[in-house]
A and B are shown apart, each in its own frame.
Chain A
Amino acid sequence: MTETQFLQRLAEVLMADQPITRDTPLESLSGWDSMGQVALVAMLDETLHYQLPPGTLQGCKRVGDIVALVGQKLDAANEAADPDRRS
């Protein structure tokens, strides 16, 4: 999964009205509640086989914080194609 695809999935799970970027504050998304976070945990496990380290969700303020957590699981090819990528 590329970062673009991941952001699309994330937007669906967190019920974003418009496209999201790494800078989008999570609090601005209507789906960023406990049910949305449960759905996020399921999506990360299902699509990336990634399980969050305990206690990391509270520290996530922006979409980019989630992308940074799963970064190594996203396609390596995508990194080269995305010059703006920040770690």
Chain B
Amino acid sequence: MISCVKCHLPETRLTNDDLAALFPEWPSEKIYQKTGIRERRVAGPDETAGDLAFHAAQRLLEDRDRSRIGFVLHCTQSPDYLLPTTACLLQNRLDLPQRCGALDFNLGCSGYIYGLALADGLLRAGHTDAVLLLTGETYSKFLNPKDKGTRTIFGDAGSATLLDSASPNRLHSFVFGTDGSGGEFLIVPGSGMRRPSGSEPAGPQPLEMNGPEVFNFTVRVVPPLIDQILERGKIELRDVDYFVFHQANAFMIEHLRRRLGIPADKFALSLEYVGNTVSSSIPIAIESALANGKIRPGMRILLAGFGVGLSWAGCLLDWKG
């Protein structure tokens, strides 16, 4: 089903040296050691998640017949507007046919997997022969400039994935999970209609992340998630050729890798120069792994996303090429 993946990063780089100049208590090398990140990209003041998804889609559609696309799915938590739907605007900007369905869906770090499942469902149901799955996120616009914890982690990015009924690259063995009781652990208060308590003004407050609780959540849910995916696929861990987890931060996902007993050479680590790009982190890792030959025809790939919601999901991808 997955036929091609392309990503787009904004121009502006925020390096560890930039951050160390702002927060001298966290030297550049310490940031790298704790996060595995050397730099992240930041969208410009007039650059939106829709723009990042648009440019990724332009790369993907460059030499392709746009008239085949029957659906656009756009995963974002920083839409261009609350209304209209960013995916509708992207239908027009990308010159896609008017018979195309379009919708946004609001998820973060697990969003790419949910998007794959939605697209796979649309294709299997016969609603269309080609789905354009986009992700676009500009968390940088939610961050408190003084919050070194979140500024070191998050980067902006967009991605575009073409899912085609004619592609032999099959997605299967999906597993999903949700625990809304942990919603407060990663939240932008006031970003919707529910106003923050107390005397705070209306409108979005800076993003709040309880890093230890989010990590605690991942160590609790990710190992069982992987077991359930393998069980669904009727395979063992050793039968998986490559693992692409959401690139939360290197410390956290390396811990998960060790706990699960996954060899380092089978495990994607692609956040060094982009940071945690939320719903774009898995497609960035896939594009990079395809480019450098880590993903090759005949391989079985396990994908897993987990984070804000709290929400998680995973699946298997049989890559035929």
Chain B residue at minimum C-beta to C-beta distance from A40:
B212
The main secondary structure of chain B at its interface with chain A is helix
A21 within 8 A of B: no
Interface pair B149/A54, CB less than 8 Å apart: no
Minimum CB–CB distance from A9 to chain B (whole Å) comes to 15
The total number of A-B Cβ pairs within 8 Å is: 43
- The yes or no answer to A76 lying at the interface (CB within 8 A) is no
Chain B residue nearest to A55 in the complex (CB):
B213
State A6–B220 Cα separation when bound (angstroms).
Answer: 21
Contact with B along A30-56 (1 / 0, CB 8 A): 000011011011100110000110110
Evaluate contact between B220 and A42: CB separation under 8 angstroms: no
Residues of A near B216 (CB, < 8 A) are 41, 51-52, 54, 57
Q: Contact partner of B259 among A38, A40, A45, CB < 8 A?
A: A45
In the assembled complex, which residues on chain B have CB atoms less than 8 Å from the CB atom of A45? 219, 255, 259
A37 to B211, CA, bound (A): 8
Q: Is the CB of A51 within 8 A of B219?
A: yes
Tell which of A34, A38, A57 touches B252, judged by Cβ atoms closer than 8 Å. Answer: A38
Which A residues contact B (CB, under 8 angstroms)?
A: 34-35, 37-38, 40-42, 45-46, 51-52, 54-55, 57
B interface residue numbers (CB < 8 A to A): 34, 149, 179, 181-182, 210-213, 215-217, 219-220, 251-252, 255, 258-259
